[in-house]
Each structure stands twice: as C-alpha cells, then as structure tokens.
C-alpha cells in the first residue's frame, strides 16, 4: 500500500518548515500540487509506503523538522458521510466546497463490515478498507455464491485515528488495512 506525499523543500526562509501532506490517491496530491508550487516551485509529489506515512504522522515530525498530515480523499469523505447517514449517525466530516479546514487533517475514513471479519494467525481480524468501493467489491465477491438469504450489507466507518486508538485497547481484534493498491502490489509480485 502506498501514500502520495506532497512536500515542499525548506528553500525559502519565509516558508520555514512547511507541512508535508500524505494522500491515498496520487490524483488528489497532483490536484493540489499546482497551488503549492506557486509558493514553492520545487514542491513535488513522491510515493512512499503507507506504513511510513503513518509513522511520520504518529510521531508528529519528531526529528524530521516539520508537520505531517494525511489528507483524506474528498470522494471517500463523501462515501463516509453517506455510510454514517444511512446508519442514522452524524456526518463523518462536514465538507464545504473544498477540503481546506484543519478539521480534515488525518481524518482518513476506514470502512468495514463486521460480517467480513476473519481469523488470521488464530486471531479475530477485522478487514478495514481505505476505499468504500473496495469494501463493496469484496462484499459482493464474498456473497456472490451464497445459497439462500444473503446477509444484509451494513458498512460502518471510523477515522484512521479512531482505528489506531481502538487497536491500543486490550481485547480488540486485529485490524488488516486493505486497499485496491495492495491488491495491485500482490498481483505485481506474482
């Protein structure tokens, strides 16, 4: 799984240590790149493993001289809001026309369906998806040949931060983060 990092180099004294933003989709990073390049023409998009992006964000840039944030995809925020509203819950994150608010920093939605839980290495494991379409595709694949009544699809959503916090609680099942990019990585390796 990869994350797209949009970063500026501290080449200008007035920029100081500018923040680094991680995106789950390259197109989101590239859409913002042109705006950032007005302030810093050397700004660029690079790709790093998702686990490294999470490590930067969790450590708040210690020893790296900057701020690190994951910005969610507007499409996945809309999907998260729809999932919450269908479940009669409050919106995941209220959106204006653009994601500009610091309220959106690190609010990456993770979608899951409790009925897709699995056992991996003898431990209960919840599959959490970074893209709603990936969750829906796996659900459809898993229920395609079911004889009789197909269970109701009841997706839920948590922010990535909430998911990390829950992982620290005792007796919490393992979580496996799944994305279509990780499927592509596995196919590429075969």
pLDDT digits (tens, 9 = 90+) for 63-121: 555 677 777 888 888 899 889 888 767 766 665 545 444 555 567 898 999 888 888 88
pLDDT score recorded for residue 136: 92
Q: What is the pTM of this model?
A: 0.73
- Bigger pLDDT: 183 or 11? 183
- Both tokens of 11, joined, read 């080449």
- Bigger pLDDT: 17 or 71? 71
Burial of residue 33 (number of CB atoms within 10 Å: 0-12, 13-18, 19+) = middle
Whether the predicted pLDDT of 29 surpasses 80 = yes
Percent of the chain residues past pLDDT 70, beyond the cut: 71
Q: What is the dihedral of CA 51, 53, 59, 65, to 10 degrees?
A: 150
């Amino acid at each position: 799984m990869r994350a797209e990092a949009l970063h500026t180099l501290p080449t200008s004294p007035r920029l100081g240590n500018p923040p680094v933003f991680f995106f789950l989709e390259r197109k989101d990073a590239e859409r913002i790149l042109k705006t950032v390049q007005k302030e810093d023409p050397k700004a660029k998009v690079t790709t790093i493993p998702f686990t490294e992006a999470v490590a930067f964000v969790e450590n708040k840039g210690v020893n790296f001289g900057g701020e690190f944030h994951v910005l969610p995809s507007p499409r996945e925020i809309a999907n998260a809001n729809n999932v919450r509203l269908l479940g009669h819950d409050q919106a995941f994150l209220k959106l204006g026309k653009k994601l500009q608010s610091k309220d959106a920093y690190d609010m990456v939605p993770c979608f899951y369906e409790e009925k897709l839980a699995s056992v991996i290495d003898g431990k209960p494991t919840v599959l959490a998806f970074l893209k709603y379409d990936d969750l829906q595709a796996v659900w459809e694949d898993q229920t395609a040949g079911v004889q009789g009544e197909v269970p109701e699809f009841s997706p839920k959503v948590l922010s990535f931060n909430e998911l990390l916090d829950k992982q620290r609680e005792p007796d919490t099942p393992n979580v496996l983060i799944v994305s279509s990019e990780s499927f592509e990585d596995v196919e590429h390796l075969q």
